[in-house]
Amino acid sequence: MPPPKKLDLIPEELRRWLAEELRDRGFSDIVSVTDALNGRIAAEGLEIRVGKSAVGDFSKALKDQREAFALADVLLSDLDIEREGDIHRVLMQMIANSAVHMIQNVRDNDGHLEPKDLMSLGRMLKDLMASSGMREKLLEDERKRLVRETREAREAEMEEALEATAKEAGLDGAMLDRLRRGVLGLRA
């Protein structure tokens, strides 16, 4: 088992500060951010020194994750179905996080993919495929709902128009019901 990364040994507050600092600087200026981080670590009284390659790797992982979330938001923002968006957002976040961790693991282990990581990749793909099926079902349900609501609105308009016309023409209730059933196919 490889030793823990130095960034994993620093307090969570410092990792959050590092993530915010990298975002604020556009994921660049790694040397300056590394110096500032090491200054904060020393101020905390810790005897750890983090290298710029570790900060650079962390920056790349954050940037990759941010881009994955941004892409998911763009893709999902075009959808009108709020529930579908929520489902896909959660799923995309899970997949993006898993993919970032897997990429880091493969990079750290000289490109070697462990069987359990391969199984995780398979699960991610399975989840994505299940999500696609769910998305198609939600879209089809939404299409059916829109068609049904449109049909019901048209029927209501036709019913109103029929009643107004029947009243103007002086037709009785029996004739109105007959017109509803025979001509328009509306419910009595």
**Rounded Cα distance, 105 and 101, in Å:** 6
Alpha-carbon dihedral 11, 94, 58, 72, rounded to 10 degrees = -130
Digits of tens for pLDDT over the chain (188 positions)? 567 788 888 888 988 999 899 889 988 889 999 999 999 999 989 888 999 988 988 888 888 888 777 766 666 555 555 555 566 666 666 676 777 777 777 777 766 666 776 677 777 767 666 666 666 776 788 788 889 999 888 888 888 888 888 888 888 888 878 877 776 665 54
Residues across the chain = 188
Would you say residue 28 lies in a domain? Answer: yes
- Please tell me the pTM assigned to this model: 0.44
The pLDDT tens digits of the residues spanning 29-69 come to 899 999 999 999 999 898 889 999 889 888 888 888 887 77
Alpha-helical regions (H) of 78-114: 82-108
Identify whether 130 is part of a domain.
Answer: no
Task: From 126, 133, 65, select the one nearest 99 (Cα to Cα).
Answer: 65
Domain assignment present for residue 148? The answer is: no
Domain assignment of residue 140, yes or no: no
Domain annotation covers residue 37 = yes
User: Does any domain span residue 38?
Assistant: yes
Give per-residue burial for 85-107: e unless 16+ CB within 10 Å, then b.
bebbeebbeebbebbbebebeee
- pLDDT tens digits along 78-90: 555 555 556 666 6
> Per the structure block, which two tokens stand in for 74?
């763009």
Containing structural domain, residue 22: 1-60
Angle, CA of 73, 74 and 78, to the nearest 5°: 105
25 located within any domain: yes
Is position 49 within any domain? yes
Q: Which amino acid is at 44?
A: E
Asked if 62 and 27 count as a contact pair (C-beta separation under 8 A), the reply is yes
